[in-house]
Amino acid sequence: MRLVSSDNIRKVCNNNYEAVLIAAQYARKINAERLNEAQYEDADEESQTNYKYKVTTQALYDLVDGKIKVAKSD
């Protein structure tokens, strides 16, 4: 597991509070996609999809990696 530092977050967002709000909103989107995906899986199968990271961790990684578009205000 990698470490997401405040310096990495400040490169993308103006402050940590803004980053938390953006990551939380994106995490809700990821969670909805995962729940939708699980809904369409065959009910007879007992295998569940294992994801590498939790939704909040994935959201922070995507934010720092630049996969989420953030409009920076000067």
Cα Rg of the chain (Å, integer):
15
Query: In this structure, are residues 59 and 30 in contact, taking their beta carbons and an 8 Å threshold?
Result: yes
pLDDT at 73 over 80: no
Q: Where do the structural domains in the chain lie, given as residue ranges?
A: 6-65
pLDDT at 47 over 60: no
To the question of pTM greater than 0.95 for the whole model, the response is no
Q: What region does 43 belong to: left with phi over 0, alpha with psi -120 to 50, or beta? A: alpha
Mean confidence (pLDDT) of the chain: 86
pLDDT tens column, 27-37: 999 999 999 98
